[in-house]
Structure 1
């Protein structure tokens, strides 16, 4: 990890920074394929939405948002993981959860921090959190990457994720398909 950067779980009082980073991420040129939400949708959400979202990511035992914070307090990136229980519905239509797993979502690294290893550090932190859970015991960590996002796919493969064979279309979306990548508990 880069000198002076810490990776930590988001805190309840971080809601404004969490909101601002999310809105910035949704304006990023790759956001059209990386996120299911648009900037136009997110910017209209009330403060209470962002406060509740951040509180959950800070305190819920089955949701965790991690941020990479520079010495000056700027956030350079963020990543969230959601616990999904076996037998439940997954994130996309037609997605069935077969084992207790963590689903990585809302991945964003600011342009100036890309290519520095920061994203790999965030992924490792998310995996460590997932593997540390005892109820439920997480068997795999997964994520979806758009078929037209080879840079992100290369990053995830470098972190040990492999295609699972699951490919899903986003309902009502003409953007293409999402490919599931996963890493099993070691």
Structure 2
């Protein structure tokens, strides 16, 4: 991150990171639909299934187990990220000190302004509060821009790869200790 971008990110007091509550289901839905429309291959979700969800299903998603955060300037939602402090399913448990980072997305017009860094900082504090300092995320091997962002933040590839069903690419796992992410 350039010095100018870092300064903007640190001094932009109008930008706040908000923990998404059930009452925020509409802004959460709108952000998820926008991210899947803009970058459908970057996420695990099936865009058709997501578009078909009811208000009750959106509220249930927010209720857990994922903890969702949004970057907002006023009422405008500029990006989001989520922390999954358990495995994706009961059949996929994770160690008790680990959490998965999922669903990072920043609106194209807001990219490069430090929003991802602010989202990661808030998510990192949340993971430490939960006693889960071992942070992991998966990124499609073809998503070079995301990989560069994660590497700039200090993430390293673990060597774990998971082929994507129906695609010729794989998910690549990245990891970082939460305290290293906050050190920058």
- TM-score bucket of the superposed structures, by smaller chain: 0.7 to 0.9
1:42 maps to: 50
Q: Is the 8 A contact 2:69 2:123 kept in 1?
A: yes
Q: Deviations over 1:94-140 (max 9, x none)?
A: xx73552110111111011111110011011111110112xxx3140
For the 8 Å contact 2:14–2:73, the answer to whether it is kept is yes
**Do 1:83 and 1:101's aligned partners in 2 also have CA atoms closer than 8 Å?**
yes
1:185 positional shift: 4.4
Asked if 1:182 corresponds to 2:149, the answer is: no
Q: Is the CA contact (8 Å cut-off) linking 1:66 and 1:80 kept in structure 2?
A: yes
Give 1:31 shift.
Answer: 2.4
Which aligned segments of 4 or more residues in structure 1 are displaced greater than 3 angstroms? 96-99
* Structure 1 gap segments, 5+ residues each: 57-61, 91-95
* 1:62-82 CA-partner distances (Å, limit 9, x unpaired): 6311100112x0100000001
Q: Which residue of 2 aligns with 1:76?
A: 78
RMSD, matched Cα? 1.8
- Displacement after TM superposition at 1:40 (Å): 1.8
13, 33, 51: which one aligns with 2:23: 13
Aligned residues: 167
TM-score of the superposed pair, with normalisation by structure 2: 0.83
Residues 72-151 of structure 1 aligned to structure 2 (within 5 Å): 73-84=75-86, 89-90=91-92, 97-98=94-95, 100-133=97-130, 137-151=131-145
| Contact 1:143/1:182 (<8 A) preserved | yes
TM-score (normalised: structure 1): 0.82
Q: What SS does the aligned partner of 2:103 have?
A: strand
Find the counterpart in structure 1 of residue 147 from structure 2.
153
Structure 2: unaligned runs, 5 residues or longer: 1-8, 180-184
